[in-house]
Structures are given as structure tokens and as C-alpha cells.
């Protein structure tokens, strides 16, 4: 099974940077994903890490350390539309994708 932990809530100011941490324990590892989910909507894919290191995609970056079972999602130049839940998800040895409980990010003006 999976054990995926991330903070419940974070608040930041427009234009600032926020880092959402995710730690995981998994039976085998075949990639870590970050999804964004606005209330009542489908999760949308943000990033994928399977090797250690940093992946950058515009204002969003994601980091992975497999030896530490740790990832973070970095959101830069925050905008009001970034207010959402951010889900860390891990794919295990059977290629099943399991999700953390999500981190609700609130961006204040």
C-alpha cells in the first residue's frame, strides 16, 4: 500500500512563492505526479518526476528525491487562479496511482 503525506492547507500572497512538500512510502516506485484540482472540478496534470532532480515548467517546478521518499511542488509568482487543491500522487510497482489527501492553497491579494 501507499502512505502519502502532504500539508492540509497553505496560504500565500499574490506574487509570492509557495512550496508544497510531499513524503511517501510505497511498494515499488514508478513515478510521482502533481495534479491541481479546483473545487468541484477534475484533477489536471501539472508535473511528473521519475528520476531525482528538478523539473521546471513555467511557474511550476517539481523536485524528487527517491532515496528520501520526498517531493515538492514549487509555485512561483502566485496568481489568484492558483488557489486550488494540489494533489501528490505516486505510482507503485503495479502501476496503480494513489493520491495524497491534497494541500489547499489559498492565494490572498
Partner 1 sequence: DTEVTQTPKHLVMGMTNKKSLKCEQHMGHRAMYWYKQKAKKPPELMFVYSYEKLSINESVPSRFSPECPNSSLLNLHLHALQPEDSALYLCASSQTSGAISGANVLTFGAGSRLTVL
Footprint of partner 1 on this chain (CB under 8 A)? 4, 30-31, 33, 35, 40-45, 48, 50, 87, 94-102
Task: Name which of 48 and 70 has its Cβ closer to partner 1.
Answer: 48
Closest CA to 79 of 40, 45, 36: 36
| Nearest distance, CB of residue 70 and partner 1, angstroms | 18
| Nearest distance, CB of residue 50 and partner 1, angstroms | 8
| Nearest distance, CB of residue 92 and partner 1, angstroms | 11
DSSP 68: T
Task: Name which of 54 and 101 has its Cβ closer to partner 1.
Answer: 101
Q: Taking CA 69 as the corner, what is the angle to CA 66 and CA 70, rounded to the nearest 5 degrees?
A: 95
Q: Give the β-pairing of 60-65 and 53-57.
A: antiparallel
Task: Name which of 43 and 69 has its Cβ closer to partner 1.
Answer: 43
Closest CA to 46 of 57, 82, 12, 64: 57
Amino acid at each position: 500500500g501507499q502512505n502519502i503525506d502532504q500539508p492540509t492547507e497553505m496560504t500565500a500572497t499574490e506574487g509570492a512563492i509557495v512550496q508544497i512538500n510531499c513524503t511517501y512510502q510505497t511498494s515499488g516506485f514508478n513515478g510521482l505526479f502533481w495534479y491541481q484540482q479546483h473545487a468541484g472540478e477534475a484533477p489536471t496534470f501539472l508535473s511528473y518526476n521519475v528520476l531525482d532532480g528538478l523539473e521546471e515548467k513555467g511557474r511550476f517546478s517539481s523536485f524528487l528525491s527517491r532515496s528520501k521518499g520526498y517531493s515538492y511542488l514549487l509555485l512561483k509568482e502566485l496568481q489568484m487562479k492558483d488557489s486550488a487543491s494540489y494533489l501528490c500522487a505516486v505510482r507503485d510497482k503495479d502501476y496503480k496511482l494513489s493520491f495524497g489527501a491534497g494541500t489547499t492553497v489559498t492565494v490572498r491579494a
